[in-house]
Structure 1
Amino acid sequence: MLDDQLSVSPDGASVLADCWNGICTWNAATGAVELAPDRNQVAVAPDWSRVATTDGGTVVLEPWESEGSAQVLEGLDDAEVADGSPVTAVAFSPDGRRVAAVGPGAEVLVWSVEGGEVVASLTASYAAEELAFSPDGTLLATAGGGPVEVHDLDTGDSRVLGRGLSPAVAWSPDGRWLAGAGEDGVPVVWSAADGAEVARLPGVRLHDLAFAPDSSTLALTALETTVVRLWEVGEGPTDAGGAEVRELAGHLDEPGAVAFAPDGTTLYSVAAEDGVVAWSLDRGRRESFELPQGPS
C-alpha cells in the first residue's frame, strides 16, 4: 500500500488511496474496501469526477466512475527518465477548473480543464514533488526538493517561504495560512498575505499535513514516529505561537498522508503496512479499515 496519496469524497462517504495493484476506495461508514484493479492516479479532482495520471510528459484526466473519454494535457517536455514519468507532481485547483503539473527543468504548466489549453506557465527553482493551489486558485505553492515557494499565476511573481525539503504543503481553507516545512523540516505556518512566519512546531520533522475544514487545526505526520499530531493553530499569530498539540497513537508503522472528512469530525491517515485509519475526533475512537489482498 502507498502512503503518499489520500482523498475523501465531497460527501464524506468514501476514502480513496493507492493500493498495491490499483486504486482502493473504502466505505467511510463500514470500512469495507473496493479495488479498481490496474488503475493508478497522481491526483483526484475535488468533485471526484476525474483522476489524473501521467503518460510520459503528458497529464491524462480519466473519468473516475462515469463513462467518458480521457483528456490529454500536453506541453511539458517529454524527457526520458530511468523510471516512471518526468512529471513530478500534479494538482487540481479547488474548483476543479484547472490542473497544474511540474515537468523537466522545474517547468510548471497550468491548464484549463474545460478547454485543455495552457493558461499559465512558470519555472520553479527546483523540480517540486508537491503542488497546492490557494483556495481562490490564483496562487500555486510548490514544495519538496527545495524550499516552499508561492507563485502568482497572474503575474508570474514568486516568493520563497521556507527552507525545508519536505514534499508537504497545504493552504488553510479560509486562505489565511500556508503550512509546510521550514528549516530542518520543522512544520511551519506562514501568513498567506505577506509570507511572515506565524508559528512553528519544534522537534518534529514533517512528513505530510492537512488543514481541518474550519482552518483552526493542522493534522500532520512526521518522520520516524507512528503518531499523528493535531496542531491547534488558532485564530491568529498569537494563538498559533502557543499552539496545543494532541497526539493520536495507533498506527503500526510510520503514517504518511492525512485528510479530513468534509465535516471535520473524522481524520484519516494512511501507512504503507497497516493501511487507512479513521480517527473519530468528536468521539475519541479509532478504526482500522479493511485492507485489500496484497500482491501475489
Structure 2
Amino acid sequence: SRLIIAADDSQVSEISIDDRKIITRLPHDGPVVSMRLSGDQQFAITVSQLSLQTGVVTKATVWDRTNGKKREMNVPGQIVSASFSHQGSAIAVGTLDPKQRSTVRVFDVKSIDDVQPVDGFRLPQEIGRLNRAIPMPGGQMLSLNGDSAFWWDFATEQQVRSFRTNGSLVHASFSSDGKYAVTTSQGVKIWDVGSGKALLKLELPHSGPVFAAEFSPAVGDSVFATAGNDGVVKLWKWDVDRLQADEFHKWPLTGSPTAVRRLRFSGDGKKLAVVGDRGLIRVLYADHGQMLRLDMTSKDTGEPNGEDVLTVAWSRDGKWLATGGTDAIGRIWNVDVQRPLGVITEETRQMIGHADRIDDIVFLEDESQQIRILTASRDKSARVWDPRLDQSEPMAREILSLRGHSSGVTGIDVSPNQQTVVTSGADGKIVLWPAD
C-alpha cells in the first residue's frame, strides 16, 4: 500500500507504507494546494500556486504515475479546482476570472501526450463562487458552489438538479454501509450517496443549529444521532423503505452552557459519547436510554474545571472512553454498562506529560488485547501511553514520545492492521511510525 502526499514544499511524494521509503517525487514551481487521481490510478492532476509581485499564479499539471512524465494545462484564470471523473479519464478544471466569474472546462486524457479539450461553459454568478467541479458520465458535471451542489448538462449548459443544504453546512457523516450520508445545518438531511438525491429533510429537529450528526457504525444499523445548540441529544431510526426518520430517544442535557459539539458512537453502536462546551461529557446508552455523566473536576476545588474536550475515542470493546482537550491532560474513563449509572467525578486514569492542548487521541489494540493510548498535542509531540488498566495505579505510564514535527501535532491514527501509526502536524508533514 502507498501514501501520496501533496504539500507546500512544492512536492508531491509517493511513499511505500510497508518500508516507509519514498517511491516518487513530483516537483512543482510552488506549493501544491490540491491533487486528484484518475479512476485507474494511472494519472494525477495537481494544482500549484506561485506568489509573484504581480499576484498569485496557479498552474494545473497532469502526471503519468507510471513514468513520471507531465503535461501542464493551458487554462486561463485562477484555477480553483481540478478533478478527474470517478470512472474514466475526464478532467474538469474550474477557474475564476478577474470579475470572480466561474468557468469550467473539461478535458479528456487518453495519454500524457494526448490531452484534448471537450467541453466548457461559464456558470451563473448567482449560485456563488465555484469550489470544485467533478465531471460525470454522459456529458454532465457536478459543481460545488458555496453551501450547495449543482448538476449540469454540458450540451444545453443548463442545470439538471440542485442539492441545497438548509443554510451553511456544519457537519456530515456516512452510514456504516456507505450508502447514505447525513448533513446538518439548521436542519438535517439524509442523502443517497450513489445518486446524490436528498431522501429526507428534517426542517427543525432542534431549536437552533444542529452541530453534530452521526450514524451508528453497527453493521445493518440504521440509527443516527443528532445534537446542537439547544443541548438536546436525539436518536432517530432511519426507515429506508418509508424514507422516514422516527425519533425514539431524547436526552435534554442540564447545566450551562449545554451546546453539544461532537458525537461519537462506540463500535457496537450501543453507547454514544457526547461532548459539549466547557468540559461537558456524557455517555448515552442507546438500548435503554440511560445517561452517564463524566465530570472533569478541579483537584483543588472539586468543581468542573471548565476546560474544553477536543477529542474522544472508544476502545474496541466499548468499555473504555479516552478524552483529551485544552488542559493538556488525557483521561481514560471506565464506562462499562455494568457499572452503576449516574455521575463519575474521577477518571480511571490520567495521562499527564503534554505541555499544550491534546488535539487527537486514539486506541492501539493488538491481537493480544494489549491496550495502548496514543495522543497528539500542540506541544509538537505525540505520545504512547500504557494505561495500566489492570493495576491500581491512578496514572498512565508514558512509554514513548514521538517527535518528528516542528510544529503542533494535530492528528494521529492507526492503520487497520494496527501495524503503523500516522501523525499529521501544523508544519504540513505526515509522519509514519512503526506501531511495534
Same fold (TM over 0.5): yes
What is the CA deviation profile of residues 248-280 of structure 1, one whole-angstrom value per residue up to 9, with x for unaligned ones?
Answer: 222233222322211111223333451544333
Counterpart of 1:259, as a letter, is D
Partner of residue 72, structure 1: 200
Q: TM-score, normalised by structure 2?
A: 0.49
Contact 1:148/1:169 (CA < 8 Å) preserved in 2?
A: no
Counterpart of 1:177, as a letter, is W
What is the CA deviation profile of residues 4-45 of structure 1, one whole-angstrom value per residue up to 9, with x for unaligned ones?
Answer: xxxxxxxx9889xxx9xxxxxx99857995387448863344
Contact 2:173/2:215 (CA < 8 Å) preserved in 1?
A: yes
- Aligned partners of 1:140, 1:182: CA distance in 2, in Å? 18
Counterpart of 1:77, as a letter, is H
Contact 2:362/2:373 (CA < 8 Å) preserved in 1?
A: yes
- Aligned partners of 1:27, 1:45: CA distance in 2, in Å? 30
Distance 1:168 1:121, change over 3 A: same
Contact 1:143/1:149 (CA < 8 Å) preserved in 2?
A: yes
Contact 2:410/2:424 (CA < 8 Å) preserved in 1?
A: yes
Distance 1:259 1:138, change over 3 A: same
- Aligned partners of 1:207, 1:71: CA distance in 2, in Å? 35
Partner of residue 291, structure 1: none
Contact 1:170/1:209 (CA < 8 Å) preserved in 2?
A: yes
Q: Percent identity?
A: 24
Q: What secondary structure does 1:253 align onto?
A: coil
Q: What secondary structure does 2:360 align onto?
A: strand
Greater share of residues in strand:
2
Contact 1:129/1:167 (CA < 8 Å) preserved in 2?
A: no
Contact 1:42/1:52 (CA < 8 Å) preserved in 2?
A: yes
Higher RCO (C-alpha 8 Å, min separation 6): 1
Question: How many pairs were matched up?
Answer: 254
The offset of 1:177, in angstroms, is 0.8
Q: What secondary structure does 2:380 align onto?
A: coil
Partner of residue 36, structure 2: 34
- Aligned partners of 2:192, 2:410: CA distance in 1, in Å? 25
Between stretches 271-280 and 158-167, larger displacement belongs to 271-280
The offset of 1:244, in angstroms, is 3.2
Between stretches 175-184 and 260-269, larger displacement belongs to 175-184
Aligned with 1:104 (options 213, 229, 248): 229
Distance 1:72 1:279, change over 3 A: farther
Aligned with 2:373 (options 218, 230, 240): 218
Unaligned runs of 5+ in 2: 8-13, 18-22, 26-34, 38-82, 84-131, 133-143, 150-168, 297-306
What is the CA deviation profile of residues 61-82 of structure 1, one whole-angstrom value per residue up to 9, with x for unaligned ones?
Answer: 452xx44534435252363xxx
Q: What secondary structure does 2:225 align onto?
A: strand
Partner of residue 200, structure 1: 350
The offset of 1:168, in angstroms, is 1.4
Contact 1:166/1:185 (CA < 8 Å) preserved in 2?
A: no
The offset of 1:173, in angstroms, is 0.8
Contact 1:233/1:239 (CA < 8 Å) preserved in 2?
A: no
Partner of residue 4, structure 1: none
In the alignment, is residue 90 of structure 1 matched against residue 226 of structure 2?
no
The offset of 1:207, in angstroms, is 2.1
Aligned with 2:309 (options 166, 176, 185): 166
| CA RMSD, 1 decimal | 3.7
